[in-house]
Structure 1
């Protein structure tokens, strides 16, 4: 299974991304759907808050796992390193969650157009 969708840079984007993934849940290996929905929501939320238009979501699933990419027009320097946000902050935990759950994840610069892609993989 594979699929791509453009998302608006609005507060609706995380919900739309989760719905898009849920519509394809039959093609995702059992046990990975909930984690994939959580991580998609975190990355799309980051793209809405810190990225630049437009946001693209790309899904690739096979029997051994799923790979998800969230791309936007923002600079790679806008990706905050995984760090302890401290108990007083209400945000800043998205990439920590991705780091804790994903088998692998990373950030790449999009070429030739400006922008970045944050991706993760979940394995069975």
Structure 2
């Protein structure tokens, strides 16, 4: 399977870019790097590093928790919505998503995992989990004032 990137800055669409990744650990830094590269021309006022961190956490979660007997992918899309930036991370598995399994945890200090959504919750202005339009689950976050008026 190859990596695919879809970035369409000249379309009359709110979607600024998208990428499709294999569900492997190497996709996490690739998602960060591609996002940085393709969001930079839009000159957002929000922290690109913060967004890249949150994308890392959500792609990691998608890779770790996505399950399917069929081949599947992780899709990352980012949108401009008024003055906000919204980023979606989909685990495109070929069965219905289980968004009720996506929950904010409060791990103990010695727990090695479970802080991804805590980071998303603390850094973003809002986040949401639901059933992906592609199948599987989507988790999104929003950064307000990414393009102030």
TM-score clears 0.5: yes
Give the TM-score normalised by structure 1. Answer: 0.88
* Higher CA-based Rg: 2
Q: Alignment length, in residue pairs?
A: 122
Contact kept in structure 2, 1:103 and 1:122, CA below 8 Å: yes
1:107 equivalenced with 2:129 (yes/no): yes
Q: Which runs of 5+ in 2 are unaligned?
A: 1-8, 10-15
Measure, in 2, the Cα distance between the counterparts of 1:51 and 1:78: 11
Report the aligned-residue RMSD. 1.8
1:65 equivalenced with 2:84 (yes/no): yes
Contact kept in structure 1, 2:46 and 2:143, CA below 8 Å: no
Selected match of 1:87 from 79, 84, 109: 109
Moved over 3 A (4+): none
Contact kept in structure 1, 2:74 and 2:90, CA below 8 Å: yes
- State the 1:15 CA deviation: 0.6
Q: Which runs of 5+ in 1 are unaligned?
A: none
- State the 1:29 CA deviation: 1.1
Contact kept in structure 2, 1:67 and 1:121, CA below 8 Å: yes
